[in-house]
Amino acid sequence: MINIELELLYHQNAHQIGIYFKYNDKLIDLVKSIGCKFSNTYRCWYILHSQANITEVYRVFKDVANIRSKELTTVSTQQAFKHNRKKEVLSTQLCEEANSKLMKFKYWMRSRRYAETTIETYLDALQTFLKFHDKKPLHKINNNDVIIFNNEYIIANNFSASYQSQVINSIKLFYKTQQEKQIEVDNLIRPKRYNKLPNVLSKEEVKAILVAHSNAKHKVMLSLLYSCGLRRSELLELKINDIDSKRKLVIVRNSKNRKDRIVPLSDKILWRLREYYKQFKPQTWLFEGAKKGEKYSEGSLEGVLKQALVKTGIKKPVSLHWLRHSYATHLLENGTDLRYIQELLGHSSSKTTEIYTHVSTKSIQQIKSPFDDLDI
């Protein structure tokens, strides 16, 4: 059984139950099912501390994991802010000046139309950084303090390079726009990141996944993700009028980086969409939940894919984004120009799209190994 550790935290101005475990899809589905959220600060899932939630957490996990807990029955601030470098619970409250500056920063980001998720991530990262250096006035924090934070907090707690980049991005933007500073933002360097190749399915595997369901809604959702290379959020944000059946286009609105784009719609998908519409008659969103007019949830969509994987017997840890990666790679292998693929995926930079050249097998398979020339 997987081990789960419960710990009392103070987060988002309230006592929370922190839930720590190694990455596991099943456990993630369970924490989401009871309303838990993920904290980038503590690198764990959390839910509001209450006796009812403690009981619910134990009920959900008792048969699937070994549960270990620290003090959860007492909610004293001293216990909640227990300083533990392994998980680094920062106990300090920000001073009035810092809170005021962060609020102004929040309003500034909103005025510039930053996504709410980005605003929350940046503020969370900044709060952690400023609490770490609570003994130092904002205007005296310098580049060396960033290096100390990276070593004594991020690296010491084995946090990811992507989280470190988030913190650096938030510090740079904050000190560039809001704070008279000693920090030289141009000299703040983001960490080197491990360049992972995108995960790609074969066409045979994609076909097996797309035909696994008999439910028309489930089938067409997965098919549209692959056939148009959509992100999960883009699929769920589609409205009925975003399908232009006459021009055979899908209009993707306000996607990543606040960009609209159009994607060609295949005749096969158009036919399936029409059949789906006749059966389910959505009102507002193209794909709705159990209640009419209510958008289909991300968790339910992930569940649709997991059910398909069980039916096909595919053991790979496939995610919804693999369908998008597979779409791009298969286009490239079919001879589609990389510039068009960039437009279809909505990438701002061609460098992002070029990663698919590393997983396309069209040219690689034509290379003959020198081993074949050996007479052995």
Delimit the domains of the chain by residue range. 2-80, 96-187, 203-358
What pLDDT score was predicted for residue 76? 37
Of 49, 218, 231, 325, which is the active-site residue? Answer: 231
CA distance 105 to 178: 7
Cβ atoms of 149 and 129 closer than 8 Å: yes
Q: How much is the pLDDT for 190?
A: 67
Is 324 a residue of the active site? yes
Cα separation of 301 and 134, whole Å?
A: 43
| Alpha-carbon torsion angle 93, 95, 98, 104, nearest 10 | 90
Q: What is the DSSP string of 223-259?
A: HHHHHHT--HHHHHT-BGGGEETTTTEEEE-S-GGG-
Confidence of residue 75 (pLDDT cuts 50, 70, 90): very low
CATH topology of domain 96-187: DNA polymerase; domain 1 (1.10.150)
Q: Give CA–CA dist 108/114, Å, rounded.
A: 9
Whole-model pTM: value is 0.57
Active site residue 256: yes
Architecture of domain 203-358: Orthogonal Bundle (1.10)
Determine whether 356 is an active site residue: yes
User: CA angle, 302 as apex, 296 and 303 as ends, to 5°?
Assistant: 90
Do you know the residue count of the chain? Answer: 376
Query: Of 218, 324, 325, 330, which residue is the catalytic one?
Result: 324
Residues 259-302 have pLDDT tens digits of: 889 999 989 999 999 999 999 999 999 999 888 888 898 888 98
CATH C-level class of 2-80: alpha beta
Instruction: Work out the average pLDDT over 244-271.
Output: 88
Secondary structure (3-state) at 14: strand
- Identified catalytic residue from 256, 261, 295, 306: 256
Phi-psi group of 293: left, alpha or beta (phi > 0 → left; psi -120 to 50 → alpha; rest → beta):
left
Whether 49 is a known active-site residue: answer no
pLDDT tens profile 185-237:
677 666 666 667 788 899 999 999 999 999 999 999 999 999 999 999 899 99
Report helix, strand or coil for 15: strand
